[in-house]
Each structure stands twice: as structure tokens, then as C-alpha cells.
Amino acid sequence: MEPELHPDLKPLEFLLGEWEGAGVGGYPTIDSFRFGQEISFTHIGKPYLIYSSRTWLLDEEGGLAGPLAVETGYWRPRPDHEVEVTLAHPTGIVEIYVGNVAFSRVELRTDVVARTTSAKEVTGGHRLYGLIGEDLGWAYDMAAVGQPLQSHLSAQLKRVK
């Protein structure tokens, strides 16, 4: 039985579901690459979304070439169309984002980035999520390893559930 959507989640309802697709990545410290991705936004009737993302490296033909990254977290709507997002990465990084929701678009900026001593130095991020027609598009700018905030990842995903 599907739980009833908490009224506070109405502004984020467009994100609900499972999404799959492909994207591109690059950064001054690495070679450019293509990746496949699955994103899930679910809820349990409480005033937050449960988020998870998995990515895989794609080879020249578009086939799977190995795992890349995983992140999980929670998206909490706040009054006045604001949203707070917590993300955890198995690489020892935890991020807190704050931002806003406008129609079918979410813009987020890091408020806090914490990392373990063995994690890559990430100092900031900026994320955009939004509907492009019926697809979910997103982009991630990152400041890391001595580099200023700049484009790192983007993808376009189709709803599969």
C-alpha cells in the first residue's frame, strides 16, 4: 500500500519515482567520461523524500564498464519554497545543501561539507534538478582538490516508475 503523500512534499512531488538515463562528466583533474545513472525519490508519508543515486561508467559503445558512485540522502521541504538536503557518500563525504523549489526546478548550494581524513577534498557544490519535458535533468558543479566551483556532472533521465 502506497502511503499518502505528506502535504509538505507537494512542491517536490514532481521528483517522485525512479529515473534512469545517461550523462557526462569531467573536471580539470580527470579525463571526461560518460556514465549511466539510476535515481530514486520515494517517501513513507513523512515530510521528507528518500533519495538514492547509483552511477556506472559507460564504454565507447554505451555498455557498462564498471561502477562509479553512490549517494543517499533525504530531501526536506521547508517553508517559503525552501529545501534542505543531506547526502552521504561511501567515500567519506557528507554534504548538507540548502536551496529552493520553483515550479519543477530545484536549485541547491552546499551549506556544509564534512569529510573523513581519507576522503577527497571537496569544499563546495551547486546542484540543479528540473523537468525537461517529462525527463529529469540535473547538473552538478563542484569545488574540489584545489579547483574552484565548476561544472563536473550532468545527466538527463527518464522516469521508469
State yes or no: 81 annotated in a binding site.
no
State yes or no: 43 annotated in a binding site.
no
Q: Phi-psi region for residue 136, left (φ > 0), alpha (ψ -120 to 50) or beta?
A: beta
Do the Cβ atoms of 69 and 84 come closer than 8 Å? no
Tell me the torsion sign for CA atoms 20, 25, 31, 32. Answer: positive
State yes or no: 120 annotated in a binding site.
yes
Q: Which residues are annotated as a binding site for heme b?
A: 29, 120, 152
Q: Which residues are annotated as a binding site?
A: 29, 120, 152
